[in-house]
């Protein structure tokens, strides 16, 4: 009784300012259970550290200083100042995971899911979360070079990275404990023991899969982008609407490759502790991706199909190095596993 009451009180106090970021990264075992030591974003500032406030971890675009609240500029940086470099803070190590591993990125909803009445004009799905991946991050990376540019097949934008995942911010289960209807319904439907880390709240998660080609012994960068716009005309403060984007920048220490995970009995174990488990529907999608992974030539031709105008496309997630696949009379695909060959101009 005590803990939920306290959590509700805290929620009421902090809700006005609380926003979201990726709090923790965890590897997911083939049965859906979190395993191993969790990892953290670049320059993580734990909630328990002295001096912690929302602003030590949130990064808003466009910045609140911009008079035009719908305007993103080509110069806007993708990562917060404290997350520009690939460095970790004391006590918040980087996640270690094998290439091809399933990973849960968890964030708090802070009422953005369970108290929708607090912010008029927001999308029903509570915004969309995107995860981009690259082996070639840049200090000073620009939002618009990645967001809306990189694509799942790796041919978008400057071709340095891929879109790994797109999901609703509301994962369908997560809640902060409060007196709202959504929270109360979910508290009954998705019960779990209060944990030291999450309290009585159930954190949201986005389950992704590292590319099987992520090079072992190197860092693989993940950019999490939460797009949470206000529609025009819904909020009198913002008659033209408002662009509101938050990001978290992270690196994963890649060690080894998951051996043929699709062959393992990667059945999601039913009835497991929600504090320590992937979301079944999301996890199943990852398993499907693994088991339907096509052999090299078939994958290359599908990459070309989806970039029909590109005369030459760099396939970013591939197993064969230096192999040229002739797909049609005038289209050549250079397969280059380290993504370093010339990149297509697709914009």
Ligand X SMILES: *[C@@H]1O[C@H](CO)[C@@H](O)[C@H](O)[C@H]1NC(C)=O
Judged by CB under 6 A, the stretch of 43-51, 64-72, 147-155, 228-236 that binds ligand X is 64-72
The window from 66-74, 107-115, 216-224, 319-327 that contacts ligand X (CB under 6 A) reads: 66-74
Count of residues touching ligand X (by CB under 6 A): 9
Q: Give the nearer residue to ligand X in terms of CB position, either 35 or 294.
A: 35
For 311-315, which contacts have Cβ atoms below 8 Å and span 24 or more sequence positions? Answer: 312/342, 312/344, 313/153, 313/155, 313/344, 314/154, 314/155, 314/159, 314/339, 314/341, 314/342, 314/343, 314/344, 315/153, 315/154
State which of positions 70-99 bind ligand X (CB under 6 A).
70-71
Q: Which residues contact 176 (CB under 8 A, 6 or more apart)?
A: 7, 11, 108, 109, 110, 111, 113, 114, 183, 201
CB of 72 to ligand X, least distance (A): 7
Name residue 254's beta-bridge partners: 97
CB of 301 to ligand X, least distance (A): 37
Q: Is 143 in the site for ligand X (CB under 6 A)?
A: no
Q: Write the interaction track for ligand X spanning residues 242-281; mark x where CB under 6 A is met and - where it is not.
A: ---------------------------x--x---------
Stretch that binds ligand X, among 63-71, 75-83, 252-260, 328-336 (CB under 6 A): 63-71
Say how far apart CA 115 and CA 126 lie, in whole Å: 10
DSSP state at residue 212:
T
CB 27 to ligand X: min, Å:
10
> Which CB sits closer to ligand X, 33 or 119?
33
- 222 CB-side CA count, 13 A: 34
Q: Shortest approach of ligand X to residue 33 CB, angstroms? A: 4
Residue choice 8, 15, 33, 92 for contact with ligand X (CB under 6 A): 33
**Regarding beta strands 312-315 and 331-335, do their DSSP bridges make them parallel or antiparallel, or are they unpaired?**
parallel
Site stretch for ligand X (CB under 6 A), options 53-61, 68-76, 199-207, 308-316:
68-76
Closest distance of CB 270 from ligand X, Å: 8
Would you say 46 and 52 are in contact if contact means Cβ atoms under 8 Å apart? Answer: yes
Dihedral over Cα of 193, 198, 199, 203: its sign: negative
Residues 155 and 27: their CA atoms lie apart, in Å, by: 28
Minimum distance from residue 29 beta carbon to ligand X (Å): 4
Distance of CA 67 to the CA centre of its chain: 29
Residue among 235, 290, 246 nearest 102 (CA):
290
Name the token pair of 146.
Answer: 């990645």
Please give the C-alpha separations between residue 337 and each of 209, 220, 298, 314, in angstroms, as whole numbers. Answer: 17, 14, 16, 9
* 68 touches ligand X (CB under 6 A): yes
Contact indicator for 290, 209 with CB cutoff of 8 Å: yes
Binding segment (CB under 6 A) for ligand X, from list 31-39, 93-101, 130-138, 293-301: 31-39
| 101 versus 131: smaller Cβ distance to ligand X | 101
By 3-state DSSP, what share of the chain in percent is helix, strand and coil, each rounded to 5?
20, 25, 55
35 binds ligand X (CB under 6 A): yes
Measured from the CB atom, the residue of 17 and 273 that comes closer to ligand X is 273
Residue number, 67 or 196, with CB nearest to ligand X: 67
Q: Which is nearer to ligand X, 70 or 301 (CB)?
A: 70
Q: Which residues bind ligand X (CB under 6 A)?
A: 29, 31, 33, 35, 68, 70-71, 269, 272
């Amino acid at each position: 009784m005590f803990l939920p009451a306290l959590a509700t009180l805290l929620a009421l106090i902090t809700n006005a300012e609380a926003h979201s970021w990726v709090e923790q990264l965890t590897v997911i075992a083939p049965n859906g259970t979190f395993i191993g030591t969790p990892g953290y974003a670049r320059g993580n500032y734990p909630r328990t550290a002295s001096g912690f406030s929302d602003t030590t971890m949130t990064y808003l675009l466009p910045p609140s200083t911009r008079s035009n609240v719908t305007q993103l500029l080509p110069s806007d940086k993708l990562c917060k100042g404290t997350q520009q470099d690939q460095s970790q803070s004391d006590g918040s190590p980087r996640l270690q995971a094998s290439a091809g591993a399933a990973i849960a990125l968890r964030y708090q909803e802070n009422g953005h899911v369970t108290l929708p009445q607090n912010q008029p004009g927001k999308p029903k799905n509570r915004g969309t979360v995107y995860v981009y991946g690259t082996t070639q991050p840049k200090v000073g990376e620009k939002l618009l070079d990645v967001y809306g540019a990189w694509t799942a097949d790796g041919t978008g934008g400057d071709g340095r990275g891929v879109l790994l995942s797109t999901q609703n911010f509301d994962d369908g289960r997560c809640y902060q404990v409060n007196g709202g209807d959504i929270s109360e319904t979910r508290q009954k439907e998705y019960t779990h023991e209060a944990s030291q880390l999450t309290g009585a709240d159930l954190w949201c998660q986005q389950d992704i899969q590292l590319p099987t080609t992520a090079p072992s012994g190197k860092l693989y960068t993940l950019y999490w982008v939460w797009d949470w716009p206000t529609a025009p005309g819904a909020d009198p403060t913002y008659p033209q609407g408002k662009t509101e984007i938050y990001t978290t920048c992270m690196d994963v220490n890649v060690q080894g490759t998951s051996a043929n995970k699709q062959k393992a009995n990667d059945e999601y174990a039913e009835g497991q502790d929600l504090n320590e488990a992937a979301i079944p529907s999301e996890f199943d999608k990852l398993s499907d991706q693994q088991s339907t992974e096509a052999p090299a030539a078939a994958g290359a031709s599908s990459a070309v199909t989806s970039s029909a105008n590109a005369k030459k496309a760099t396939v970013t997630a591939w197993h064969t190095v230096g192999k040229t696949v002739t797909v049609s009379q005038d289209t050549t695909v250079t397969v280059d596993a380290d993504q370093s060959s010339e990149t297509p101009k697709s914009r």
